[in-house]
Structure 1
Amino acid sequence: MPSDPMLHGLDAEQRAAVTTLASPLAIVAAAGSGKTTVLTRRIAYRSAHGTATPQHVLALTFTREAAAELKRRLRRLDIREPIEAGTFHGVALRLLRDRALAANHAPPHVANDRLRLAREVASELKLQVEPYGALADLDWAKARMVTPDRYEGAIRITRRRTSLPPARFADFAAAYERLKRRRGVVDFDDLLTHTIEALRTDRPWAEGVHWRYRHFFVDEVQDLNPLQHAMLEALRAGRPDLCLVGDPRQAIYGWNGADPTTLAEVEVRYPGVTVVALTSNYRCSPQVVRAGAAALAASGQHDDSESRQPGAATVLVQQHVDEAAEAQAVARHLRGLLHHH
């Protein structure tokens, strides 16, 4: 067993992912393989061994809860120096606020009622459209970096169902941007586009940001959209110290513009990348892992993960007419289990 406390309790694949000096690095982590543990231990291991300086680390997560958990785990590993961890939007907001304050400008104000803005735009354009759906269309286009003039072609290619009439998308998007400017507000994706633009055009500020962030760790890479990927590349500025963690088989945000090919095609996107696979599933029974592999195979994907748990009950497969019927069936099944226990 390794004597280094940063490696305590890790299997051989996990130890390899934590200790490799390779960069850039992609860790393809099967479900239940200890992804968060490996990501945290790698940051801690590199910090403890002097190959990364904590104050120059940036860990990008998909949720604020994940960022908070990563920081808690690092503290438990006795990493006391501050490590910045946050979502793409959270990091972008902090950077833009710092930049505004340094220039004695007002910091960005994030709109807190986008539905009201969307309703006003729909009313102005005399469009009968559900505001939430209209915002979803806007967010998808911005996340995919699809400009209004390319929108109709993009939704044809992706077969995306839209709320806004495609021919009116450009009008709606332009009116929405005008209204935000009049109100002096931005939305969440504006934070990313403004950060990217500032990094491209404000060279002194960009140099300071690049000095501050030197070691990049990115969680749930399969759920990144092209806009988030562009922000990562603007922050990284071509430097190789990058660790990507995720699993293209667990992508769940395609409806919102996510692009799982970042990991699926990682060797094309990042020439010279080292790929380390975590294939042991410590969460699920063999029956569940086999059922998941069968479902993936039916969609043309391969899963070579293996369960490290004892055998359990056979997986029950059911088919329902819609989501409501599915939810009702699950509730009935749970009531039955509670009744018998």
Structure 2
Amino acid sequence: MSASSETILEGLDDAQMSAVTALDGPVRIIAGAGAGKTRTVTRRIAYACARGDWDARKVLAVTFSVKAAAEMRARLQTLGVGDDVTAATFHSAALQQLRRVWDDIFETPLPHVTSDQRENVERAIRRVTNAADIDAQQVRDVRAEINWTKVSLVAPDDYPRVCSATRRQPPAELDPQRFADIITAYEGEKTVRGQIDFDDILLLVCHVMDDYEELAASIRSSIGWLTVDEYQDVSPLQHRLMTLWLGNNRNVCVVGDPAQTIYSFAGASSYDLLHFADEFRPLTADVTLNTDYRSTPQVVRYANRVLAAAPEREQYLVLRSARSGGPRVGHTCYDTDEEEARGIAARIARLVAGGVDPGACAVLTRINAQQPAICAALRAEGLRYRV
């Protein structure tokens, strides 16, 4: 073993070490909040490359945000493999593949990827409903539902049947058949303008992998080892693409936490994470990271109490804190948003008066609409803030 690979293993706890040194075959890592998930994943990739077991040029690590991908690349860079490993979002990795094979299939240029669907959605609504007035909320709701059908692999013709079977109600007071017509009209609007949306990127690569054997083999040959971050938020479309990328390749590692699923509104589900062992059996390693290095014991105990009351509590990790201690977690209820805002601002003002740095105070809100009341209360207390 080279000195560099030994250095990569330094500072890992026992569970992290088990995950990092399991290099072949299917691996699942259930990682709680603050448990060193990114540290473990990047060390695993760097360790395998440093040993020579993996070819860094054939390593693909996909995650869900540009920021997370950049963080992964930065960490891999410090570990000496950042230039060769591909760390990207699902959409970025798929778009690179699509650009590589497009000219082999089509005579026309690759359509423009539009990041703003609103105009096409509004045009589709007008075409189907002949509505004169369409508000922004209606456009947002219809756009979200169109995106849900794509990531859930629901074709327009199947949408009414799916609504009937699942009692799903289309947005904007539309009946299922009319909404299916809007989906078709939306696709037509994009085609006329030479556009595709982000989900089309994944759908098109799935189409290539399904229908063009030689090109599919070329894409698969470029992926020797696949790591999927935030696997609890994988949609059916992303899962489909992942399995097509793999083919018969079993060198896949998935990382996630069922308690951190945040994209269920957009079609994501922790199902694939929880059933990974059934789909890819037998696993080389099934590792649980439940030591929270980020939060105090008081915060961790409170989090465990909240999760213990959840309907899916048997799916969730019981975390333990690696930190020494901290203040207790307070819980205060207010009758109105305004009273809550004043109470929060007054508490922060008392902390600041006692010598606490205002920059060490944070207020988290569930939605942006709650923030103006908080900001007004902070101004009234003479406290400067940054949203």
Q: TM-score, normalised by structure 1?
A: 0.92
Q: Which amino acid aligns with 1:36?
A: T
Does residue 254 (structure 1) correspond to residue 264 (structure 2)? The answer is yes
Does residue 303 (structure 1) correspond to residue 320 (structure 2)? The answer is no
Q: Aligned pair in 2 of structure 1 residues 170, 15: CA closer, same or farther (>3 Å)?
A: same
In 1, the alpha carbon distance for the partners of 2:185 and 2:100 equals: 29
Runs of at least 5 residues in structure 2 that lack an aligned partner in the other structure: 357-387
Alpha carbon RMSD of aligned pairs, Å? 2.5
Q: Aligned pair in 2 of structure 1 residues 175, 323: CA closer, same or farther (>3 Å)?
A: farther
Please name the residue that 1:171 is paired with.
181
- Of the three residues 327, 332, 336, the one matched with 1:313 is 327
In our comparison, the structure showing a higher alpha carbon Rg is 2
Please name the residue that 1:52 is paired with.
54
Asked if the contact 2:153/2:236 (under 8 Å) is kept, the reply is: yes
- Of the three residues 198, 211, 218, the one matched with 1:201 is 211
In 2, the alpha carbon distance for the partners of 1:110 and 1:21 equals: 36
Deviation at 1:330, TM superposition (A): 4.9
Asked if the contact 1:96/1:108 (under 8 Å) is kept, the reply is: no
Q: Which amino acid aligns with 2:99?
A: R
Deviation at 1:272, TM superposition (A): 0.9
Q: Aligned pair in 2 of structure 1 residues 80, 58: CA closer, same or farther (>3 Å)?
A: closer
Matched pairs, number: 340
Q: Aligned pair in 2 of structure 1 residues 325, 22: CA closer, same or farther (>3 Å)?
A: farther
In 2, the alpha carbon distance for the partners of 1:323 and 1:132 equals: 26
Q: Which amino acid aligns with 1:12?
A: D
Q: Aligned pair in 2 of structure 1 residues 324, 141: CA closer, same or farther (>3 Å)?
A: farther
Does residue 337 (structure 1) correspond to residue 347 (structure 2)? The answer is no
Q: Aligned pair in 2 of structure 1 residues 139, 322: CA closer, same or farther (>3 Å)?
A: farther
Does residue 94 (structure 1) correspond to residue 96 (structure 2)? The answer is yes
Higher relative contact order (CA 8 A, sep 6+): 1
- SS of 1:216's equivalent in the other structure is strand
Does residue 226 (structure 1) correspond to residue 240 (structure 2)? The answer is no
Does residue 110 (structure 1) correspond to residue 118 (structure 2)? The answer is no
Q: Aligned pair in 2 of structure 1 residues 166, 39: CA closer, same or farther (>3 Å)?
A: farther
In 2, the alpha carbon distance for the partners of 1:197 and 1:327 equals: 51
Deviation at 1:101, TM superposition (A): 4.4
Q: Aligned pair in 2 of structure 1 residues 41, 157: CA closer, same or farther (>3 Å)?
A: farther
Deviation at 1:57, TM superposition (A): 0.6
In 2, the alpha carbon distance for the partners of 1:322 and 1:110 equals: 44
> What's the CA shift string for 1:174-203, capped at 9, x where partnerless?
111111111110010000000000011111
Q: Aligned pair in 2 of structure 1 residues 331, 193: CA closer, same or farther (>3 Å)?
A: farther
Q: Aligned pair in 2 of structure 1 residues 227, 323: CA closer, same or farther (>3 Å)?
A: farther
Please name the residue that 1:279 is paired with.
290
